[in-house]
Structure 1
Amino acid sequence: MKRIKIQLVTLIIGLGFILPSCSDFLDQENPSSASSGSYWNNKQEAEAMLGGCYGVLQQQGLYFNYYNGADPRALDGFGTTDGSSGWWFWSPADNALSWGQLSPSQELVEVVWDACYKGIARCNEIILYVPQMGPDKIEQADADRIVGEAKFLRAFFYNYLTSLYRDVPLSTEPTSTGYISKSSKADVVQFITEDLKKVVESDALPDKISAEERGRADKGAAWALLCRIYLYNQKWAEAASAAQKVIDLGYNLEDNYLKLFSEAGNNSQEVLFAVRFSATIDGTENKMRGFLSTRNNENYYTPITVTGDLLNEYYDKNGKTLSKTSFTSEELLDPANRDPRWGYNFIGIEETWKSDDWINWYQVLSGHINKYQDYTVTEKFYDDQDYYVIRYADVLLMRAEALANSSGSQSEIEGLINQVRDRASVRMPHVTAAEISEAGGILNVVKHERRVELAFEGHRYFDLKRWGEYNKLSEYAYVGEAKSQVWPIPQKELDNNKALTQAPEWGGE
């Protein structure tokens, strides 16, 4: 078993599940395996247990390795959708969604399920046992904060589960005797939103964390997560309100888009919640490369090929779509003539196969991912780049989407989009009536902005699912709307828990 060294105040999640050592770190194989009678003795031990909850975020299936927005093979959302294609050493697991090979026994289905429920079980321990410690072992404010963060993470894990598997077992205890049947998605969502809202409306979490505590949840992160959960479940008024709570806390966009996705951006005012990463362990470089960056010198970048569909989503610098632009196809390959985010997110763009009459040039543009490739770090091989789970630009666009779906003020919606475009390093033209008309409505303008602003940050797959655009979920093999709506419950879970039933789309009743 891999060993964990955790001090939550300086929580840094590393690729090998090992954190930089310090004299007051707790060092044990798995803090969550400790018995309730021998472990809950002081704040340090309670925070170490909480560190185990945060540590699940780095596991395969969430924000480390195979399948998520942090993996170079899956940067536009599970390595599928209409955004990026892998060109190296694909495994059956990596290809599950891309090739329409998802099944109850598929590794991807099991890995994501296991990671989320491991996190939930650890959070449930915190929520049950910390309040029982009493004032002799932990101050009330510290206990409230630790429990509040555990409830934030539990809501996060359950939102991930319901967004993929829909109806899932709702467990609120560390252990259970007997089988647990599925709860409806609506019931799970109601539970986690009510639970988290009580936390964020209390004094349990600070309004904002300090730079030294980055990686921990605060009120900004909690309101943003509530906004995301509401949005994913078409609760437009609640989503808009939660986003406004974040806005009222005084967050701002980072002026320099390129700097944001570098080591220097880790403490940016735009980042609401991030998974922390250090490429060094006890002063030694982690030889598994950076958490997101795969470069090994200033000329190397992730080998994932970006699809022409995504590349051509970006307007020209005058705010014109490629169907309306006055630039030639060759001129559009120059980042100086495009939305600046085109150049920040991609590198090595070129036009290929121009002689093939059956392929037009919009389809055959090729390029590679440049986001998160920190070329400012020259003195060492690897960079210490965090992975951003929630940032302020996403919150602004979530509020815009919620308002667009609920007949909100169009001027406010445009203003939210324009705020994202007004970033000092972007300065794209504001939304116009002509753009709205060409897009087919203001909601489609919001969708466009999400795609170009948040490319390779792991949102696209979930965006397409909630928009019902199922035919875009797989780059190669569309399996149909029914099976695209929901993942199957892992077969091993069905075998072990006789109270579980498979989703109807996958052969269940």
Structure 2
Amino acid sequence: MKKIFIVSLFIACLGLGSCEKELDIVNPNQPTVEVFWKTADDAQQGVNAVYSTLHRGAISRWLPFYYIIRSDEGRSQSPATDIVNNMDQFRITDYNFWGSYDIWRDSYIGVFRANQVIANVPAIQMDEAQKQRVISEAKFLRGLFYFHLVTLWGNVPLMLEPSTTTDKPATTPQAQVWAQIEKDLSEAATVLPAKYTNPDDLGRATKGAAYALLAKAYLQQRKYNEALTPLQWLVTGEGSSLYSLMPDYRENFIITTENNAESVFEWQFQRNPTENHDDDTDPRADNLNYGTSIAQFFAPPGIGWSDGEAQRWVVHQFLKEPTEDGGRDPRLAATFLYDSTDVRGPNFTQIYGETFAKRYGTDNGQRVWFRKFLNDHWKNEEGYNSPNNWRYIRYADVLLMYAEALNATGSTAQAYPYVDRVRQRAGLAPLSTALPNLNQDQFLAQLKQERLLELAGEGHRWNDLTRWGDLGPELAQRDPAFSTFVKGKNELLPIPQQETDINPNLNQNPNY
């Protein structure tokens, strides 16, 4: 399911009362809602359109960019000062800044499409099992879109029915949005298959994906007891036979080993050689970009734009603890390109076919680039149509979430084995050997380190810091951008001003 086509029914744009295209002009060649939802094929095309939202430019590029670069593991030295100010340094200069506003729009386009499926598929005469699966896929994806909306903007409009351009939905309390996410994912998990037998269904949401995202939703609210149930299905229950850690950590980030045993849910991308746009509402479907352009914005100078980079302090964290055989943590080279990705230094480190020293000299040693989204393992350039999937939830993440939930609920000793599995894959000594008998607070402090090293540059750090209550100006010691962070404000992005201007029912976030 690397390439998902959409149908003309969904060629519509959606803002919360705003729209960039004229929707009052009827195209007689396009089917309407009234005539479209008739067959099982319509239902399948409808849910495929929801998945297609994940290919859109803003949500496939700027969404992970925001989660990574706003956190203390990332930074921007882009010559585009609006990127630096709005995406990194908490100097929000424009409440309609295109990066965040486009994520908002794409997320609600996804919600709109999911709502269409959930509202219209029940009336279609089709195989009941297939019908319920399609509806559950839409619920999973709606939960995914709202997970992003609530963690980026907080109190957002909760829209559960197909919307129109005249709707003016009110701001919904954050707790109510979370409750709907929990409901959607719980209902999806009861219906979705544990795995698919048809290769054409590769990449669709599974029971494990729904349980893993549900666990993330619970953890983000610090509902640790509730998180245990979906995590137990994945770690000690039926799901434990479906997932495992890949022996080679690097295999989680290269195109030849996508959708592997460690993958719980991936955003599927594919290169279209004829692509020239990434708007899946454009009728030129043959030219649609099914890839992601984030690699072009993360790749080093001379290859990409280098709008987003990693902080050097994270590199030093990898060097604190050697492997059991005295070597360097292998996750470091898989995570970053920098002067010593090759342990022998800049004269041996390869940056897209040339040594670091040849490209940048030997006095440029503070720059570090996130590697996991890049394509340097198979070509010496980047572009706007990377086929490298976003491994959105890996089993290693699940194991560490389970350890966190166990520790938070008073079962610290029982949490050790799940951290051990992640560490041992990297060649490190088991935590139960290296740091036995930690108390609850000490274990959490160590778990923060484990998540940093295992998941750096994958888009989890911002939510981790939020959940732990660690966001604040004190992070400026390792990320100077946080010197301008204002508590009670910068945890969330501002609601786009255009939306609040045209919809009096929307409330702006605090202190904006």
Per the normalisation by structure 1, the TM-score is 0.78
Task: Select the residue among 179, 193, 205 that pairs with 1:190.
Answer: 179
CA–CA separation in structure 2 for the residues paired with 1:95 and 1:376: 32
CA–CA separation in structure 2 for the residues paired with 1:293 and 1:496: 35
**CA deviation string 1:195-240 (max 9, x = no partner):** 3212312xx3111135542221010111011011111111101112
Matched, 1:390 2:389: no
RMSD: 3.5
Give the 3-state SS of the residue equivalent to 1:482 in structure 2: coil
Q: Quickly say closer, same or farther: Cα 1:291–1:411, change in 2 above 3 A.
A: farther
Assess if the C-alpha contact under 8 Å between 1:80 and 1:475 holds in 2: no
CA–CA separation in structure 1 for the residues paired with 2:471 and 2:244: 33
Equivalences for 1:110-125 in 2 at 5 Å? 110-125=101-116
Residue 456 of structure 1 corresponds to which residue in structure 2?
Answer: 457
Partner letter of residue 186 of structure 2?
Answer: K
Task: Select the residue among 189, 193, 196 that pairs with 1:209.
Answer: 196
Partner letter of residue 399 of structure 1?
Answer: Y
Q: Quickly say closer, same or farther: Cα 1:270–1:289, change in 2 above 3 A.
A: closer
Assess if the C-alpha contact under 8 Å between 1:349 and 1:368 holds in 2: no
Residue 315 of structure 2 corresponds to which residue in structure 1?
Answer: 311
Residue 496 of structure 1 corresponds to which residue in structure 2?
Answer: 502
Partner letter of residue 259 of structure 1?
Answer: E
CA–CA separation in structure 2 for the residues paired with 1:282 and 1:305: 29
CA–CA separation in structure 1 for the residues paired with 2:287 and 2:7: 22
CA–CA separation in structure 2 for the residues paired with 1:296 and 1:68: 17
Assess if the C-alpha contact under 8 Å between 2:157 and 2:171 holds in 1: yes
Q: Please, which moves more after superposition, 234-243 or 121-130?
A: 234-243
CA–CA separation in structure 2 for the residues paired with 1:499 and 1:214: 41
The structure in which a higher percent of residues are helix is: 2
CA–CA separation in structure 2 for the residues paired with 1:463 and 1:146: 31
Assess if the C-alpha contact under 8 Å between 2:168 and 2:503 holds in 1: yes
Q: CA deviation at 1:276?
A: 1.1
CA–CA separation in structure 2 for the residues paired with 1:189 and 1:236: 14
Q: Please, which moves more after superposition, 235-244 or 308-317?
A: 308-317
Give the 3-state SS of the residue equivalent to 1:469 in structure 2: coil
Equivalences for 1:146-295 in 2 at 5 Å? 146-175=134-163, 178-201=167-190, 204-210=191-197, 211-247=199-235, 248=237, 249=239, 250=241, 251-281=243-273, 291-294=293-296
Q: Quickly say closer, same or farther: Cα 1:99–1:380, change in 2 above 3 A.
A: closer
Matched, 1:92 2:82: yes
Task: Select the residue among 474, 479, 483 that pairs with 2:485.
Answer: 479
Q: CA deviation at 1:484?
A: 1.9
Q: Quickly say closer, same or farther: Cα 1:336–1:300, change in 2 above 3 A.
A: farther
Residue 430 of structure 2 corresponds to which residue in structure 1?
Answer: 430
Matched, 1:55 2:58: no
CA–CA separation in structure 2 for the residues paired with 1:375 and 1:11: 21
Q: Quickly say closer, same or farther: Cα 1:121–1:94, change in 2 above 3 A.
A: farther
CA–CA separation in structure 2 for the residues paired with 1:499 and 1:165: 16
Q: CA deviation at 1:187?
A: 1.3
Q: CA deviation at 1:342?
A: 1.1
Partner letter of residue 449 of structure 2?
Answer: H
Give the 3-state SS of the residue equivalent to 2:416 in structure 1: helix
Partner letter of residue 314 of structure 2?
Answer: L
Residue 416 of structure 1 corresponds to which residue in structure 2?
Answer: 418
Q: What percentage of aligned pairs have identical amino acids?
A: 26
Q: Quickly say closer, same or farther: Cα 1:415–1:59, change in 2 above 3 A.
A: same
Assess if the C-alpha contact under 8 Å between 1:11 and 1:51 holds in 2: no
Per the normalisation by structure 2, the TM-score is 0.78
CA–CA separation in structure 2 for the residues paired with 1:418 and 1:93: 39
Assess if the C-alpha contact under 8 Å between 1:148 and 1:205 holds in 2: yes
Give the 3-state SS of the residue equivalent to 2:318 in structure 1: coil
Q: Please, which moves more after superposition, 145-154 or 435-444?
A: 435-444
CA–CA separation in structure 2 for the residues paired with 1:375 and 1:184: 44
Assess if the C-alpha contact under 8 Å between 2:410 and 2:440 holds in 1: no
Assess if the C-alpha contact under 8 Å between 2:55 and 2:289 holds in 1: no
**CA deviation string 1:427-477 (max 9, x = no partner):** 211115764769961011111111111111111112112222222497524
Gapped runs of 5+ residues in structure 2? 14-29, 276-285, 347-363
Give the 3-state SS of the residue equivalent to 2:464 in structure 1: helix
Matched, 1:400 2:387: no
Q: Quickly say closer, same or farther: Cα 1:29–1:229, change in 2 above 3 A.
A: closer
